[in-house]
Amino acid sequence: MENKGVMIFAEVTDGKLSPITRELLGAGRKLANDLGEELSAIIAGSGVVSTAAKIAAGVTDKVYVVDDPLLKDYCTEAYAAVVEKVCQIAHPRILLMGHTTIGSDLAPRAAFRMGTAAKTDCIALDIDDMNKQLLVTKPIFGGNALAVFTMETFPQVATIRVKSMTTQAVESTGKGEIIEVALGLDPAAVKTTVLQKVVAENEGVKLEDASVIITGGRGMGGPEGFKQLEELAKLLKGAVGASRPACDNGWVKDIMQIGLTGKIVSPDVYIAVAVSGTTQHLAGCSGARNIIAINKDPDANIFTEARFGVVGDWKKVLPGFEAEVKKLMGK
Amino acid sequence: MKMIVCVKQVLDPEAPPTKFKIDPNAYNVLMPSDAAPVLSPFDEQAVEAALRIKDANGGTISVISLGANLQRDVVKKPLSMGADELILLEDPAYVDGDSWSTGYALAAAIKKLGQFDLIFCGRQAADSDSGQVGAAIAEILGLTQVTVARKVEVMDGKVRVERVTADGYETIEAALPALITVSNELGEPRYATIKGIIEAKRKEPIVWKPGDIGLDTFKIGAAGSRTRMVKVYQPVHVSKCEMVAGANEEDAGKNLAKKMAEARLL
Ligand SMILES: Cc1cc2nc3c(=O)[nH]c(=O)nc-3n(C[C@H](O)[C@H](O)[C@H](O)COP(=O)(O)OP(=O)(O)OC[C@H]3O[C@@H](n4cnc5c(N)ncnc54)[C@H](O)[C@@H]3O)c2cc1C
Q: Residue A64 belongs to a domain with what CATH number?
A: 3.40.50.620
Cβ-defined contact of A263 to B166 (cutoff 8 Å): yes
User: A90 with A219, same domain?
Assistant: no
Specify the CATH number for the domain of residue A305: 3.40.50.1220
Residue B29 has pLDDT above 60, yes or no: no
Q: Is residue B14's pLDDT more than 90? A: no
Q: In total, how many domains does chain A have?
A: 2
Residue A47's pLDDT is: 87
Between positions 59 and 88 of A, the ones with CB within 8 A of B are 73, 75-77
The verdict on A85 and A217 lying in the same domain is no
Same-domain pairing of A86 and A161: yes
Residue A61 inside a domain? The answer is yes
Of A158, A189, A220, the domain-final residue = A189
Is pLDDT at B31 greater than 80 in this prediction? Answer: no
Per the document, the length of chain A is 331
Are A147 and B138 within 8 A, CB to CB?
Answer: no
Confidence of residue B36 (pLDDT cuts 50, 70, 90): confident
CB-CB contact of B71 with B35 (8 Å):
no
pLDDT of residue A293: 98
Shared domain for A253 and A317, answered yes or no, is yes
> Are A67 and A160 in a shared domain?
yes
pLDDT at B27 over 70: no
Residue nearest to atom 50 of ligand 1 (CA): A280
Q: Please tell me the predicted confidence (pLDDT) of residue A86.
A: 98
Beta strands in chain A (DSSP E): 6-10, 12-13, 16-17, 39-45, 62-67, 94-98, 118-122, 124-127, 134-140, 145-151, 156-160, 177-180, 192-199, 212-216, 239-242, 269-273, 290-295, 308-311
**A151 & A99 share domain:** yes
Q: Is A292 touching B (CB cutoff 8 A)?
A: yes
Q: Whole-number mean pLDDT of chain B?
A: 94
Q: How far is CA A219 from CA A245, A256, A277, A309, B41, in A?
A: 9, 16, 12, 16, 21
Burial code (b: 16+ CB inside 10 Å, e: under 16) for B205-236 equals beebebeebebeeebbbeebbbbebeebeeee
What confidence score (pLDDT) does residue B243 get?
98
Q: Is residue A199 part of a domain?
A: no
Delineate the domains of chain B, giving CATH numbers in brackets. 2-224 (3.40.50.620), 236-266 (no CATH)
A281 lines ligand 1 (CB under 6 A): yes
Would residue A57 count as lying in a domain? Answer: yes
Domain membership of residue A99 as a residue range: 6-189
Residue A6 binned pLDDT confidence (cut-offs 50, 70, 90): very high
pLDDT tens across B109-145, in order? 999 999 999 999 999 999 999 999 999 999 999 999 9
What average pLDDT does this structure show over A244-251?
A: 97
Residue finishing a domain among A189, A222, A245: A189
> pLDDT by residue (tens digit) across B199-234?
999 999 999 999 999 999 999 999 999 999 999 998
pLDDT value of residue B121: 98
Q: Using CA coordinates, name the residue in chain B closest to A155.
A: B226
Q: Is the CB of A5 under 6 A from ligand 1?
A: no
Write out chain B residues lying below 8 Å of A232, CB-based: none
Residues A126 and A248 in one domain: no
Contacts B132 to A, Cβ<8 Å: 108, 118, 120
| pLDDT recorded at residue B26 | 60
Q: What is the pLDDT of residue B24?
A: 65
**pLDDT tens digits, one per residue of A69-95:** 999 999 999 999 999 999 999 999 999
pLDDT of A202 strictly over 80:
no
- Does the pLDDT of residue A55 top 60, yes or no? yes
If pLDDT is split at 50, 70 and 90, which confidence band does A235 have?
Answer: very high
Question: pLDDT at residue B89 above 90?
Answer: yes
Asked whether A280 lines ligand 1 (CB < 6 A), one says yes
The percentage of chain A sitting over the pLDDT mark of 70, rounded to a whole number, equals 98
| Alpha-carbon separation of residue B14 from B18, B78, B125 (angstroms) | 11, 20, 13
CA distances from A50 to A46, A77, A176, A193 (A): 10, 23, 14, 25
Q: Is residue A17 part of a domain?
A: yes
Which band of pLDDT confidence, cut at 50, 70 and 90, is reported for residue A167? confident
Instruction: Write down the pLDDT at residue B28.
Output: 52
- Quick check: is A263 in a domain? yes
Q: Is the pLDDT of residue A170 over 90?
A: no
Instruction: Give which of B152, B161, B228, B249 to mutate to test A binding, by max A Cβ within 10 Å.
Output: B249
Same domain, A131 and A270: no
What percent of chain B has a predicted confidence (pLDDT) above 90?
86
Is residue A243 domain-shared with residue A296, that is, in the same domain?
yes
Q: What is the mean pLDDT of residues A224-249?
A: 97
Residues A57 and A94 in one domain: yes
CA dist., res. A18 & res. A11, Å (int)? 6
Q: What ipTM goes with this model? A: 0.96
A48-62, A312-326, B60-74: least confident range: A48-62
Cβ-defined contact of A120 to B251 (cutoff 8 Å): no
Name the domain boundary from A123, A155, A189: A189
Residue A296 has pLDDT above 80, yes or no: yes
Amino acid found at B125: A
pLDDT in tens, B177-203: 999 999 999 999 999 999 999 999 999
Q: How large is the greatest C-alpha to C-alpha distance in chain A, in angstroms?
A: 69
Same domain, A166 and A265: no
**pLDDT value at position A52?**
80
> Is the predicted pLDDT of residue A36 greater than 60, yes or no?
yes
**Do A223 and A285 reside in the same domain of the chain?**
yes
How much distance in Å is there from the Cα of A121 to the middle of ligand 1?
21
Q: How far apart are CA A125 and CA A138, in angstroms?
A: 9
Minimal CA separation from A309 to chain B, in Å: 5
